[in-house]
Amino acid sequence: MNRAGETSFDELLAFLLGQTTAQEDARLLSRARQLRAEYWQNRIQVHIINNVRNGNCREDCGYCAQRRTATEDLPDYGLKSDEEILKEAEAAHAAGAYRYCMVMSGRGPGRNTVERVSRVIGKIKERYPLEICLSAGILTDGQLALELKNAGLDRYNHNLNTSKRNYENIASTHSYSDREATLQTMQGAGVSLCSGVIVGLGEEPDELIALAARLAGLGAVSVPVNFFIPVPGHGLKEEPRLTADYCLRVLAMFRMVLGPAEVRLAAGRELYLDRELEEAMQLANSLFVSGYLNVKGSSPDATVQRLSRAGFAIETVEGHLELDETGEIAPQPDGLRMKTLQELRPFH
């Protein structure tokens, strides 16, 4: 059921459910670490998100602070100016980012938005040796997908988020099928796929395994594994009770199913895996720094220093980031902090 061909669905399910023995746990975790080392050695790719359009969203995704029915007031702004986006790309490059991810609120881009974003992508590519990922929602127009590809877009992110069975419980304004169709459209245009999950939305463990296999089948080369963050205004009926142990098992399962894919430790790592960061990065091989869409994360410098000291090589498009290991590691954040408007738009 996986690319390594050594772990069955039943073994993975027992592992996620915590029904395996200590010896079996050790064997499966070792297998996941071996796969990570085989394909990625000790390398880590760093990603930085730029929230280029925030709030004022008509969708009702239950996990999102920007959902149309959210009760928490968030800064609303339209698509940032070209100058703002370029300055943030410059800052991402200076921070040692391998990939620069532009994320937009809303259902999906129309022609005018695609034209603007394509122009900005071209400018970024001219100035900085960054890989560029765009997350702009549902896009099933093949011509628009080609325009983005021709502008230099490397990846398109559109998470499946949860199982097909559970999807109607977290969103009603679009469907799981809309998300799959977007991935197929972008793949057809020659854009590589970034698609992942948000663990803790009400899915069952067996559905997580099936979802990992589906992502492998769709050809996703990058799979962000998010852990649900209880942002103000979220729409879940019941907040999940995630533990560090379960989150590590989920990361190991994704590695065993997806083999060589870029498995990314994404949102929620500070809440659930702060003390286990080094252990988690023996399973994943990339992560976000500088926070997420609306939630402030840990210090990027502190995170990079911490991982460098643990023996990981921080990969950039220009090589490996050389760090001074004499600096102090800043304390990690305590709890959930939302980004301010100044943090969302530092160059406005």
24: CB partners within 8 A, 6+ apart: 11, 14, 15
Rounded Cα gap, residues 225 and 213, in angstroms: 14
Element (H, E) at 51: strand 43-53
- Pick the catalytic residue from 133, 247, 255, 345: 133
- Pick the catalytic residue from 31, 67, 99, 101: 101
133 catalytic residue (yes or no): yes
- Pick the catalytic residue from 194, 249, 269, 345: 194
- Pick the catalytic residue from 36, 53, 57, 306: 57
Q: At what angle do helices 244-258 and 22-40 cross, to 10 degrees?
A: 50
CB 227 within 8 A of CB 247: yes
- Pick the catalytic residue from 64, 99, 179, 269: 64
Rounded Cα gap, residues 265 and 46, in angstroms: 10
- Pick the catalytic residue from 179, 264, 269, 306: 264
SS3 271: helix
247 catalytic residue (yes or no): no
Rounded Cα gap, residues 279 and 89, in angstroms: 30
61 catalytic residue (yes or no): yes
CB 186 within 8 A of CB 155: no
Residue 327 burial (10 A CB sphere; 0-12, 13-18, 19+) = exposed
- Pick the catalytic residue from 36, 61, 247, 306: 61
Rounded Cα gap, residues 59 and 107, in angstroms: 6
Residue 233 burial (10 A CB sphere; 0-12, 13-18, 19+) = middle
Active site residues: 57, 61, 64, 101, 133, 194, 264
